[in-house]
Structures are given as structure tokens and as C-alpha cells.
Amino acid sequence: MIRPFLICLFALCASATCSSIATAEKPNVLFISLDDLNDWVGCLGGHPQALTPNLDRLAESGALFTNAHCPAPACNPSRGAIMTGVSPHVSGLYDNRQSMRGQMPDADLLPRYFSNHGYWSAGSGKILHYIIDAQSWDEYYPPKETEDPFPRTFYPKKRPVSLPRGGPWQYIETDWAALDVTDEEFGGDYLVSKWIGKQLSQTHDKPFFLACGIYRPHEPWFVPKKYFEPFPLDEIQLPPGYLENDLDDLPPAGKKLGPNRYFPHIREQGQWKQGIQGYLASIYFADTMLGRVLDALENGPNKDNTIVVLWSDHGWHLGEKQHWQKYTGWRACTRIPLIMRVPKGAPGLPQGTVAGTTCDAPVNLLSLFSTLTQLSGLPDKETNDGPSLVPLLESPEAQWPHASITYLGRPGNFGVSGRRFRYISYDNGDEELYDIETDPYEWNNLAPKDEFASEITKLKAFLPATFAEYANNNSGASLPDLEWSPFDGTTELVSQPMHDPFEIRISNKAGEPLKIFSIDAQGGKHPYGTLETGWSKPYETRPGTIWLIANAEGQPLGYFTVGNEPAHAEVPVPNQ
């Protein structure tokens, strides 16, 4: 009877050993995001004054995709698509005013998918759109239960600092200033890089999926003054893609999208070069924080077994097409840095990446989910919509029968990027076409010319046959209003939730970012992240639930008590 027992024991030990080896061979993943970064990166040549030594050294050590584009030109739909692998045209998540979980309540995000396959998944900073999505992570900094991805950050108490507000339409964070603080005093991305660096400096029991969300160069462009010093104001160069009459050959939909109120306001205030200076300074600061993370990896125990991927959620206009901000289908807004470095021995790419590789195939960040699962030897998630980039990592010149599609806010609006041509189409039928090889700044719209009709036909062939409808597009105007109750500092808030859930829509008219909390039956606060000024979003709730609204510092401003039906809750200007 002993012999069979020993055989079983040996079999179990062999199985455990194989399992241990398999686990040990799984590569780690370092997943780095920089927010609102266009191609103003040294290795992409977007602006001659950009200082990005750490982005450049990462590109030199891995593979740089020079024709990479975002799934959508806004944070929420872009990050939602990246983190779920589900395209906006499938999920219906098209803009910042929607809820990711409202559109995809059951989707497994990248970190949860990796955790389900034996990884420890952790993160810090902004990876999703002003939420953490606690259910998707094993650990987070700040703690995932807060649903607030931002560590302590120093901001001037009196604002605006440089750019007066042109009206309630202006995003309060559109501002810039050199701050007389150290990196540590500033906090923010410095604290993110510190926490991520600590994880990279340790040996872990499991392979890790570690996400690092660097917030800059997202507005406001407030960073320590030493990052402004390399960019003297009298030496600032205007964006190389700026052309004064650039809108002349656009169709009506393009002309409507091109000029917005920000750019003329900035010019009227004499702040154009100051804004460019602030953006360059913020990029330099973000790059320095990236350097801290890369140094921690290089000097730690995980150097030789970690996949590194770096991306930005979308680009940014600084006057090109008479536009400031994002939300467009032009290359200034859709093209982003994408860098990948894969160590030798990765299951999906045993030879690893070749240092200094560049690839000009049209790729999309929607592919990151399927790429990382293949590289790590994990099964592909059936709902992934983006093709894996592994063939291009194996050979940059590999056949690539795909185009890159960027979805522009509503069904039927999109940009399609090929290897040479880019096509933009609006839901009213207006079209634009650009030859990037001869016209990298998209100054010459070729769509009206008959000789380019075949190029449009080729790019349109990549489009999906159907688009998910845009949901939750009600601004609240047709819903009954909930009464706003200013917080008096003494009222004890306790909810009495009952019956079935439904949605209310909370609109921020306060002129400043707000923190949203629901109150439970014991008076406990449950955070729902940040609601930016001017935005309106749906929140699932029940009758009798109290929603507490606080300012960016967490000080309560007021609350709403939910009634028996869907409603609109508008947060007014304080003391109004």
C-alpha cells in the first residue's frame, strides 16, 4: 500500500514543482500611463524643445510605435477601452460624461484578468477616469477603497494663477504656473513614482501586474519651478503644426470642431507661449517621474523578467486647427507615444524585443489587452476587440492587415489611420483625408479630390458594420430635480435605502472639481471618485439614499436625498 501512496506523492510534488516553475516563468508587467501626452517627445519629434530623456531611453531599449493612436480622444472612453479590451463601438462608451461601469458592468479589467490567472495586481495614480474601480485591484495607492486615485498634491490656494477664466464654460484646471516647491512637497506624481518604485524594488511571491498612472502633463500645468527653467519664455517656439488658415479647406463639421473658445481666449490674454511653456514643463516633470520608476526597475530584482509598456490615453492641441484641448479626430489629438519592452523568455515572445526597434504600422491602444495576455502566456479574453501586436514586436515589417480606428464622441464619427493616409468622417457625411507622408500636420484636406477616392474606400473598409448607441446622453433637463441641501456641519446624514435601484444624474455646476459620496444606512461614506466641473454623470442608487458632495479637499458642501424615481441632481456654485 505504500508504493501507490509514494507514486501519488511524487506525482503531486512533480505537479507542484511544474506549477511553481510555470509561475516563476510568467513575466511581470509594468504598465505606465502618462495623461494627455501628444507626440511632443524627443523620439517622436513632435516639438523641438521637448525634454524627454527617460521616454527616449525607454524607446532606445525597446520597440517604439510611431503610428500609434488612441481608441477615443477623451480620457474615459480611451481608458475604458484600453482596460477592458472592448472597443467604444461595442461598449457604447464614447465620452467623459458616461459611466464605464454603467456601460460595462461585468467587464473584467486588465488587472483583474491578470489576478484571475495567478498575478498580484496593484497600481497607483490615474489609470481609469477619476476612479480606481476597487474590485479590479489587489492593492492600490491611495487605498482602493477611497476610489480616489490621486495622492496629496500641492496646488496654489488662490486660483486662477495665470489664465483668467473666460466664463463658466472654461475648465477650471486650464491654468499654468511654476511652483516654488520641491518634488516631494509637490507630491502627486512624485508620490506615485515613490510607491511604484518601492514595489519594483521588492521580490514578490507572485508575478505582478503593476500599473503606474502619471497624471502630468494633464492640466493644470502646475509643477515645481525647476521644470520651467529649461524653457525661457522668450525662447518658446509655437507648435510646429500650427497654420493660421488651417481651417479653410475643412468641411462644415470640421470647421465646427476646429476652433473652440479656449484658444482665442488664451491668445487674447497673451498666454499662448506661457501655455506652451507650462505643457513642456509638465512633460519634463512627468518624464523625470518616469525616470524614477525606470531606475527602480533597473536597480531592483525584477529587471530581467518585466514587460514594460508605456502609453498615453490621447494627444492634445495647443493651437493646431485653432483648437486647444482634445476631443478631435486630428492627428495632434489621436497620435500618442507607445513603447514596449519585452524581456527574453516571455512566453509570447521568447526572443524578447530588439532594442531600438521602430514600427510605423497603424496600431491602436485597444490592442494592449490582447498583446499583454499573449506575451504573458495567458489565454486571450474572448471579448477583446484589438488584434495582438506580438507579430509587430517579432518583426516591425510584418504584414499588418489592420487600420487604427479612433471613435469621436458619438456613433458615426471616427478617424481611421492607415500606414500612409488618415481618414476622418462625421455623422453628417462630411469627410477629410490626409497624406501623412507628405503632410504630417494635416494641412491639406484631400477628400474633395476625385483621385483620392480609392484611398477613402480602402480605409472605410476597416469600419465596423454597426455602432452601439450612445446611452446616458440625457443632460438631466427632462428629469425631475432633486433639492440641494447645503451642509450645515451638524446634520447627521443617514440613508434609508429601499426598493429596486435606478439611476440619478449628478451635474457639477459648482465651478470646481467635486468628490462624490453615497451615505449608507449606518452613516458611512462610500466614495465614487471625482466629478469634474461642467460634467454630468449617472450614478446607480436606491430611494432614500443620501448623496454627499464635497470639494476637492474633502470638505462637505451639501447633499441630495433620492426620491422614488430617476432624477437630476445639480450641484450649484457654493453659497448660491
| Active site positions, annotated | 75, 129
Place of cell 527574453: 344
Asked if residues 335 and 69 have their Cβ atoms less than 8 Å apart, the reply is yes
Tell me how far apart the alpha carbons of residues 215 and 282 are, in angstroms, rounded to a whole number. Answer: 10
DSSP, res 24: H
Asked if residues 200 and 30 have their Cβ atoms less than 8 Å apart, the reply is yes
Please name the amino acid found at residue 121. S
From the centroid of its chain, how far is CA 29?
18
Alpha helices in 419-555 (DSSP H): 453-460
The DSSP result for 81-100, as a single string, is HHHH---HHHH---STTS-H
The DSSP result for 474-506, as a single string, is --STTSPBPPPEE--S-PPP-----S--EEEEE
Asked if residues 125 and 197 have their Cβ atoms less than 8 Å apart, the reply is no
Question: What are the CA-CA distances from residue 245 to residues 57, 203, 316, 317, 319 (Å)?
Answer: 37, 57, 19, 16, 12
> What nine digits make up the cell of 448?
474633395
> What nine digits make up the cell of 193?
513614482
The DSSP result for 144-194, as a single string, is GGG------B---SS--SSS---STTS-TT--EEEESS-HHHHBTHHHHHH
Residue of 58, 26, 21, 23 lying closest to 374 (CA atoms)? 26
> What nine digits make up the cell of 532?
469634474
